[in-house]
Amino acid sequence: MSTLIDEIKDLASRYFETYRSIRHHLHANPELSYKEFNTSAFVCSELDKLGIPYQRMAETGIIAIIEGRPSERVIALRADMDALPIHEENEVPYASTVAGVMHACGHDVHTTCLLGAARILHELRDKWDGRIKLIFQPGEERNPGGASILIREGVLENPRPTHIIGLHVHPLLNTGKVSFAPGKVMASADELFFTIRGKGGHAAKPYLTADTILAASELVVALQQVVSRNNNPFSPSVLSICAIQGGFTTNVIPAEVKLMGTFRAMDENWRKEAHKRIHEIAQGVAISSGASIDVHVDLGYPSVVNDAALTPRVKEHAEAFMGKTSVEEMELSMGAEDFGYYTQIIPGCFFRLGTGNKQLGITSNVHTPTFDVDERSIETGIGIMAYLGAIS
């Protein structure tokens, strides 16, 4: 007599080629954040084929419900759908057909895995209890984050899930493996914008100007104090200035220079304190340089916090499904994910799906133009999401 695990594994294997083709379609036709109109329509068409009811939210978001055996149990499974403004360099038959846009973070895989899991859960709906809410989410890659918009529109209500589970591809983890960890696993992410203004003028007469280039240089260096001299070193945090724009020739001190960067943290109290220090340091540089500095901190995603009670339980289910040797401890990441918004409201578990394969040369990291996955990971992702949906 087959077990639920056996049945799910059999179906995941049987449907692998179908969902690999779906992944190829999604990868070849990427869409940027909040513009996932064709992607959304495609997901709806797949749900229509399965007879799974759904509704639209936030223009391109999709919420579907699968009914199992009568029960009060309600959980949510989430996948994101948007791509990145990166030009793909992979020479594969399913490469992006959209210039300058690419699924370089694996959201095509996430969507594919949830669609595959939905098919299995729908077919086996007499084998599990309650309701499963499927969340196909737009705009993970861009503030304010599609999760925050869906939450505002009521995605976690009617019915309210007891918990939510999501996965993310991880090219540094071998295909056939997954990883979990309780607690804080991904950082908050805020975008930093500085505009430095001063009296420009001839480079030969800097004493008649307020040197915005010098002020910008001092600001870049001074901001490193925020983390190195203000933060507890046992609480991970990063501040990076990633863009400087100003000047147009060799002999003119410009009247304006702009800087952009990112600030990331694991602790919300430190995050707020750091914002204060960023403003203070910028104003100090402004006073010393004779320029003015406008500072804007665009609040981004909160840290992802895996629930301390839920995550070990989900990990045990994963071990039962895949075997203990295929389930690893997930390392902390200073990357950010708007899944953190969900974990602020209900218990959540965000885990990593291994997609790397050194033998096949699949090693490029996410957010690079050569990122790709070992597609056997799709079978793993479909299976584990279906099992966790049925049993967690």
- What are the residue numbers of the active site? 82, 140
Report the distance separating Cα 245 and Cα 49, nearest Å. 50
3-state secondary structure the chain: CCCHHHHHHHHHHHCHHHHHHHHHHHHHCCCCCCCCHHHHHHHHHHHHHHCCCEEEECCCEEEEEEECEEEEEEEEEEEECCCECCCCCCCCCCCCCCCCCECCCCHHHHHHHHHHHHHHHHHCCCCCEEEEEEEEECCCCCCCCHHHHHHHCCCCCCCCCCEEEEEEEEEEEECCCEEECCEEEECEEEEEEEEEECCCEECCCHHHCCCHHHHHHHHHHHCCHHHHCCCCCCCCEEEEEEEEEECCCCCEECCEEEEEEEEEECCHHHHHHHHHHHHHHHHHHHHHHCCEEEEEEECCCCCEEECCCHHHHHHHHHHHHHCHHHEEECCCECCCCCHHHHHCCCCEEEEEEEEEEHHHCECCCCCCCCCCCCCHHHHHHHHHHHHHHHHC
Structure tokens at 130: 């309650």
What region, left, alpha or beta, does residue 80 occupy, with left being phi > 0 and alpha being psi -120 to 50 degrees? beta
Place of tokens 């969340």: 135
Maximum C-alpha span of the chain = 88
Task: Please list the residues that pair with 250 across neighbouring strands.
Answer: none
Q: Could you tell me how far CA 355 lies from the centroid of its own chain?
A: 16
